[in-house]
């Protein structure tokens, strides 16, 4: 019942109720569940996930969303506001990513449903553009092993070969020479992360950019995690290498508005160096009996509420707000990294940014994770080697959180020393699914996903 706490409290709807529940009761249930679940991350002990944590901001966006929640963003003749919202979201993102440095193309963008959506559209664009301009029918892309699995998903869906480049085990950065050695006539794109999800380290985008120009291959920079915070960190003087359109070989960048852009979940921006690449993945059907159909992306109908809320978030926060939040986050991350480095048994992975990962050569780091869970912390787990990471967000910048991290980590190390000869309870499952899930067999993972999707249906 641990994964289905509401079954006993509220029962389970296995069919549409014969009579509708009173709206007051519906809202009461929703409010109670939201209150209970918000309490988990409001402590500041949850890695990533909740990037803003400001309920006043959430309420503001909810009001903006509600004005357009019923609107279909496809119907621009009825709702020209959607053109304003989407166009300005893209324009502001392009400006942040230094599209003004582009002198060899016409920069454009696409608002998608999230990081995976942006990555899917990018891979589709590279595949179709190469098919149209180079007659490539068996495309491949080269990604660092650390790049997000959404690239593997995209290539699985679009029949693109994935070539996984190894990383340096010390720096955690992609082996650029390996990438160069494995480019061939069918390579349509390379990937670099800014930063990668696991370690929070930034691939050598400058070297990849030069390689992309030399070999006439596209370069996608995955800034889904860092795209809306790294630019502000650079402006503030933190040690962050250039990763954006200032490098002439960078042909597309994904940046999630629903992370450090502080918008609602369900939006991301895919920025292109030139409109020819974006336009190549448009879909249209002109001879359908229902009329001429066209779609700029894979989605059809979209709620205008997400565009309105994202636009509202960006224009209300402004440059000064993004800079202020970035400073707080980077300073908090630096303090937490310093605490980790102060312990001889712990080792930071590479040279991380606002998101950092650490491991131990003395014991399985998941013993630390096991103990920290008892103190309310929720980290994300890596493997090869086992490590855990913290993506610092605004909730961690609250007073007292860094001090709690320092005290709890010291106690966790004592626990890890005492239990180092035992098997830890936790493991490396993306998304933080709790509890003893160290097996990696495909069938086990399928069972986990199935339980997430339909377990509520079979609760007795």
- Mean pLDDT, range 137-162, rounded to an integer: 98
In a domain, 257, yes or no: yes
Residue 1 pLDDT grade (very low, low, confident, very high; cuts 50, 70, 90): very low
User: What is the pLDDT, as a whole number, of residue 284?
Assistant: 86
User: What is the pLDDT, as a whole number, of residue 434?
Assistant: 44
- Mean pLDDT, range 153-182, rounded to an integer: 98
Least confident of 21-35, 89-103, 206-220, 295-309: 295-309
User: What is the pLDDT, as a whole number, of residue 293?
Assistant: 85
Closest CA to 191 of 211, 214, 172: 211
In a domain, 333, yes or no: no
Residue appearing with tokens 């006043």? 56
Per residue in 354-398, pLDDT (tens digit) is 999 999 999 999 999 999 999 999 999 899 999 999 999 999 999
Residue 250: both structure tokens together: 């960078």
Q: What residues does 161 pair with on adjacent strands?
A: 140
Q: In this structure, are residues 279 and 107 in contact, taking their beta carbons and an 8 Å threshold?
A: no
Assign 3-class secondary structure to the chain.
Answer: CCCCCHHHHHCCCCCCCCCCCCHHHHHHHHHHHHHHHHHHHCCCCECCCCCCCCHHHHHHHHHHHHHHCCCECCCCCCCCHHHHHHHHHHHHHHHHCCHHHCCCCCCEEEEECCHHHHHHHHHHHHHHHHHHHHCCCCCEEEEECCCCHHHHHHHHHHCCEEEEECECCCCCCECHHHHHHCCCCCEEEEEEECCCCCCCCCCCHHHHHHHHHHHCCEEEEEECCCCCCHHHHHHCCCCCCCCCCCCCCCCEEEECCCCCCCCCCCCEEEEECCHHHHHCCCEEECCCCCCCEEECCCCCCCEHHHHHHHHHHHHHHHHHHHHHHHHHHHHHHHHHHHHHHCCCCEEECCCCCCEEEEEECCCCCHHHHHHHHHCCCECEEECCCCEEEEECCHHHHCCCHHHHHHHHHHHHHHHHHHCCCCCCCCCCCCCCCCCCCCCCCHHHHHHHHHHHHHHHHHCC
User: What is the pLDDT, as a whole number, of residue 332?
Assistant: 98
Give 78: exposed, middle or buried? Use CB within 10 Å, 0-12, 13-18, 19+. Answer: exposed
More confident residue, 67 or 454: 67
Least confident of 61-75, 91-105, 156-170, 286-300: 286-300
**Cβ–Cβ contacts within 10 Å for residue 362, how many?**
14
Q: Name the domain count of the chain.
A: 1
Q: What percent of the chain has pLDDT over 70?
A: 92
**168: pLDDT strictly greater than 60:** yes
Domain that holds residue 98: 81-313
User: What is the pLDDT, as a whole number, of residue 436?
Assistant: 43
Closest CA to 242 of 209, 280, 275: 209
Bond before 385 cis per omega within 30 degrees: yes
Closest CA to 199 of 392, 389, 432, 427: 389
Residue 421 pLDDT grade (very low, low, confident, very high; cuts 50, 70, 90): very high
Residues 6+ apart with CB under 8 A from 436: 425, 426, 427
- Mean pLDDT, range 412-438, rounded to an integer: 75
CATH of the domain at 92: 3.40.640.10
- Mean pLDDT, range 244-264, rounded to an integer: 98
**446: pLDDT strictly greater than 80:** no
User: What is the pLDDT, as a whole number, of residue 296?
Assistant: 85
**83: pLDDT strictly greater than 70:** yes
**Cβ–Cβ contacts within 10 Å for residue 19, how many?**
5
CB under 8 Å, gap of 24 or more: what pairs does 165-173 form? 170/350, 171/201, 171/350, 171/351, 172/146, 172/196, 172/198, 172/199, 172/201, 172/349, 172/350, 173/144, 173/201, 173/202, 173/203, 173/204, 173/350
Mean pLDDT of the chain: 93
**Cβ–Cβ contacts within 10 Å for residue 244, how many?**
23
In a domain, 242, yes or no: yes
Per residue in 21-78, pLDDT (tens digit) is 999 999 999 999 999 999 999 999 999 999 999 999 999 999 999 999 999 998 888 9
In a domain, 121, yes or no: yes
Q: In this structure, are residues 109 and 245 in contact, taking their beta carbons and an 8 Å threshold?
A: no
Q: In this structure, are residues 61 and 263 in contact, taking their beta carbons and an 8 Å threshold?
A: yes
In a domain, 3, yes or no: no
User: What is the pLDDT, as a whole number, of residue 435?
Assistant: 43
Residue 276: both structure tokens together: 């020819």
**266: pLDDT strictly greater than 90:** yes
**440: pLDDT strictly greater than 60:** no
**Cβ–Cβ contacts within 10 Å for residue 237, how many?**
9
**429: pLDDT strictly greater than 60:** no
Q: In this structure, are residues 107 and 274 in contact, taking their beta carbons and an 8 Å threshold?
A: yes
**Cβ–Cβ contacts within 10 Å for residue 354, how many?**
28
Q: What percent of the chain has pLDDT over 90?
A: 85
pTM of the predicted protein model: 0.92
**438: pLDDT strictly greater than 50:** no
Phi first, then psi, for residue 326 (nearest 5°) are -65, -45
Give 154: exposed, middle or buried? Use CB within 10 Å, 0-12, 13-18, 19+. Answer: buried
Exposed e or buried b per residue across 155-166, where buried means at least 16 C-beta atoms within 10 angstroms of its C-beta:
beebebebbbbe
User: What is the pLDDT, as a whole number, of residue 437?
Assistant: 45
Dihedral angle sign, alpha carbons of residues 71, 77, 81, 87: positive
How far apart CA 429 and CA 355 sit, in angstroms, is 17
In a domain, 94, yes or no: yes
User: What is the pLDDT, as a whole number, of residue 5?
Assistant: 87
User: What is the pLDDT, as a whole number, of residue 455?
Assistant: 60
Per residue in 326-351, pLDDT (tens digit) is 999 999 999 999 999 999 999 999 99
In a domain, 102, yes or no: yes
In a domain, 165, yes or no: yes
């Amino acid at each position: 019942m641990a994964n289905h706490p509401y079954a006993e409290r509220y029962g389970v709807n296995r069919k549409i109720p014969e009579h509708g529940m009173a709206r007051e009761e519906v809202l009461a249930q929703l409010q109670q569940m939201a209150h209970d679940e918000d309490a988990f991350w409001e402590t500041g002990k949850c890695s990533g996930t909740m990037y803003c944590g400001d309920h006043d901001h959430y309420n503001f966006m909810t009001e903006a969303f509600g004005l357009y929640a019923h609107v279909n963003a496809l119907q621009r003749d009825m709702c020209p506001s959607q053109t304003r919202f989407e166009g300005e979201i893209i324009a502001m993102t392009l400006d942040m990513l230094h599209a003004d440095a582009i002198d060899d193309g016409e920069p454009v963008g696409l608002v998608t449903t999230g990081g995976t959506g942006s990555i899917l559209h990018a891979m589709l664009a590279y595949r179709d553009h190469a098919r149209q301009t180079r007659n490539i029918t068996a495309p491949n892309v080269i990604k660092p092993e650390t790049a997000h699995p959404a690239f593997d998903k995209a290539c699985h869906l679009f029949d693109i070969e994935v070539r996984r480049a190894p990383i340096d085990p010390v720096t955690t950065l992609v082996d650029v020479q390996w990438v160069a050695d494995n480019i061939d006539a069918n390579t349509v794109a390379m990937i670099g992360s800014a930063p990668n999800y696991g370690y929070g380290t930034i691939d050598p985008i400058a070297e990849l950019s030069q390689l992309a120009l030399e070999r006439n291959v596209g370069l996608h920079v995955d800034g889904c995690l860092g795209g809306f915070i790294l630019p502000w960190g650079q402006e503030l003087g933190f040690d962050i290498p250039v990763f954006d359109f200032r490098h002439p070989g960078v042909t597309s960048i994904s940046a999630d508005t629903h992370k450090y852009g502080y918008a609602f979940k369900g939006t991301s921006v895919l920025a292109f160096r030139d409109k020819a690449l974006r336009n190549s993945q448009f879909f249209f059907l002109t001879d359908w009996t229902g009329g001429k159909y066209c779609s700029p992306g894979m989605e059809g109908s979209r709620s205008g509420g997400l565009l309105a809320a994202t636009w509202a978030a960006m224009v209300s926060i402004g440059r000064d707000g993004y800079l202020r939040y970035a400073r707080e986050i980077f300073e908090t991350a630096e303090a937490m990294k310093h605490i980790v480095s102060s312990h001889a048994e712990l080792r930071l992975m590479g040279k991380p940014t606002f998101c950092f990962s650490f491991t131990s050569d003395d014991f399985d780091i998941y013993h630390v994770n096991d103990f920290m869970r008892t103190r309310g912390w929720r980290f994300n787990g890596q493997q090869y080697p086992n490590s855990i990471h913290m993506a610092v967000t605004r909730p961690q910048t609250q007073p007292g959180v860094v001090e709690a991290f320092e005290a709890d980590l010291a106690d966790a190390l004592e626990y890890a020393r005492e239990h180092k000869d035992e098997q830890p309870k936790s493991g490396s499952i993306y998304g933080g699914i709790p509890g003893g899930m160290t097996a990696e067999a495909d069938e086990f993972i399928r069972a986990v996903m199935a339980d997430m999707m339909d377990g509520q249906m079979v609760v007795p």
